[in-house]
Amino acid sequence: MIKNNYHNFHIPVMGIGFTIDTPLKVAPLGIDSVISIVDDTIIEQMREHYIKLNQQPYLEISKKDPDYRERRITDYLNLINQLVIEKFQKIQNQAFEEGSEINNYFELLPKHSELSTQFYKMLEETDRSKKEFIQEHLRSEMKCGSIDVNIMAKIDTTTYDKAGNALPEIYNDAMSALRAFANTDLNASVVLSAGYNPRLYNYIETFNDFLPNGSGELKKKVILKVSDYRSAAIQGKILAKKGIWISEFRIESGLNCGGHTFATEGKLLGPILEEFKTERTQLQEELFTLCQEALKESGRFLFQKKPHLRITAQGGIGTSMEHDFLMNHYELDATGWGSPFLLVSEVTNVDDATRNQLAQARKEDYYVSTASPLGVPFNNFHNTSSQKLLKERIDKNRPGSPCHKKFLTFDGEFTEKDICTASRQYQHLKLKQLEESNLSAEEYEQKSKSILEKECLCEGLAVSAVLVHNEEKPKQITAVSVCPGPNLAYFSGKFSLKEMVQHIYGQNNLLNSLNRNHMFVNELEMYMDYLKKEINNCGGIFNKKQARYFKNFKISLFEGINYYKDLFSSFYSEAEELLLKHTNALKTYPEF
């Protein structure tokens, strides 16, 4: 593990609009964060906002312009980069005074870090020349946080020209987003999440910034968000054989996370992190060998030394003790803290009404839904304005949403071109099909409820950004969806950036009064509930594939529980009773 003097946490992507300008707020203070680049419409609105805010002339990039999606994303990211650099340099040149942003930069650092130690030594220094010498050294050591971007690899829908003809696949959503990032001035990383997309992975190697330059360095890096070691190793090797180095594996809990959930086959986060720890050196060696061979064969520059392979984890972390334990026991490079920052207005774009709801929420307000048009379980929050709009449409017998953006158009059951299951068109056709199926009233109610629950996430997860900045357009849908991880139930109120960072580093405690188990136990309970629900959905009748799946799931859970029994014995005595309870409960589940 490479340790440095800077922050050992990052702020992951949240929704579409919640972190769309977060780097502008935290990168000048040395904190890494991630922008979603799925929605070029919101990106263009935010580009307009910041250009006008900085009193510069705004020239719209219209949907009528060639390759408009790539140009919108590229120009926005370059703008954010420029503004971050300007803000950082302004902070860097400030006087060290109480309440100044440069003081804040160093006050946010972990107290055990070298730079933090030097900063507090400078404050106590009485000799003027020595004090100024330390100050200049501190300024020279300051670094911006990274402006990283996220692409959901499977959100790669086909685009069409005005005549309805499909454009070449390089204009697909994920492909154009990748090209946009590759064409920016950024020295940063792209986070690839939500699965493997062969054509997108093939596309990466066509951009020189993802390959080593003459000095053996990378201008742009690839981060893979994964939920288990096997997936990481497979995808890492696929890219290494193209000469693409994976700079970081970002491990996320399958269920204890915000947004979409992708349950592993009963494999829990602790054992997964243990496997990464055990196999890390071998994986690094193997990927490096494959990468160098591919670069040599294609006649490209080689790495001059073995690049570092970062391992980070995120999903459900709630205390500084958990943060420190993950960092030390599993030798991580950093952890990710997402949902708690939804309560920090300095960091995320959350409209006042939604943030007030989150600040006062009860534990039961957080739930797993089938609201996503992707057909993947989705962590949701009760009584959002998006859900209220959805109900109003149903009450008016006009269910579904107008589908303007078409990022989630994956269903081809009724139409030649795929459409979104949250769209008015799909829901009208699907409900009509149900009415003609001679179902019982109970069956119709159950199936229609599943259809009508689908939310327009393209609008709901994006619009908060423009609401916060008062940039909504006429007729723009302003209903907000929010997808916090269940861990947010243990935080109540609204906090400053400094308060949240101090919580992460153990300098204060922002948890509410709810009894909270260790993050590993919380995740285990989610997996137990998930397995029980999946078994019940089968009605006690299992085909061979289901039986094999449930059997492996149970075995993995038993293995995880035994791992935790050994792990917790040295520091978490309260866990023994909980683990025994879950062991006994798991034994009551059917045998397969």
pLDDT above 80 (res 111): yes
pLDDT digits (tens, 9 = 90+) for 293-309: 999 999 999 999 999 99
pLDDT in tens, 192-250: 998 899 999 999 999 999 999 999 999 999 999 999 999 999 999 999 999 999 999 99
* pLDDT above 90 as % of the chain: 85
Q: What percent of the chain has pLDDT over 70?
A: 99
Q: Check the CA dihedral 488-492-497-499 and report its sign.
A: negative
CA distance 125 to 97: 14
Bridge partners, 250 (sequence order): 225, 312
* Angle between helices 320-329 and 497-504 in degrees, nearest 10: 50
What is the Cα–Cα distance from 354 to 176, expressed in whole angstroms? 32
Q: What is the pLDDT of residue 562?
A: 94
**254-265 residue pLDDT tens:** 999 999 998 999
Q: What is the pLDDT of residue 3?
A: 42
**pLDDT recorded at residue 5:** 52
Q: What is the DSSP string of 442-464?
A: HHHHHHHHHHHT---HHHHTTTH
Mean pLDDT for 426-449 is: 90
- Can you read off the two tokens belonging to residue 380? 């949701």
Q: Which long-range contacts (CB under 8 A, 24 or more apart) does 441-450 make?
A: 450/370
* Res. 1: pLDDT tops 50: no
Q: Is the pLDDT of residue 574 over 90?
A: no
* Other residues' Cβ atoms within 10 Å of the Cβ of residue 548: 12
Question: Which among 515, 504, 523 has a CA at the least distance from the CA of 563?
Answer: 523
pLDDT at 398: 95
Q: What is the pLDDT of residues 121-153, one digit of tens each?
A: 999 999 999 999 999 999 999 999 999 999 999
Mean pLDDT, the chain, as a whole number? Answer: 94
> How confident is the model at residue 4, as a pLDDT?
47
Tell me how far apart the alpha carbons of residues 147 and 81 are, in angstroms, rounded to a whole number: 7
Buried b (16+ CB within 10 A) or exposed e, 186-220: bebbbbbbbeebeebbebbbebebbbbeeeeebbb
Integer angstrom CA distances of residue 339 from 243, 260, 366, 471: 35, 13, 12, 24
Report the pLDDT averaged over residues 357-376. 94
Q: Are residues 9 and 334 in contact, defined by beta-carbon separation less than 8 angstroms?
A: yes
Bridge partners for 313 per DSSP: 251, 335
Between 47 and 406, whose confidence is greater?
A: 47
Q: What is the pLDDT of residue 101?
A: 97
pTM of the model: 0.94
Average pLDDT for residues 361-383, to the nearest whole number? 93
pLDDT digits 0-9 by tens, 343-358: 999 999 999 999 999 9
How many C-beta atoms lie closer than 10 Å to residue 538's C-beta? 13
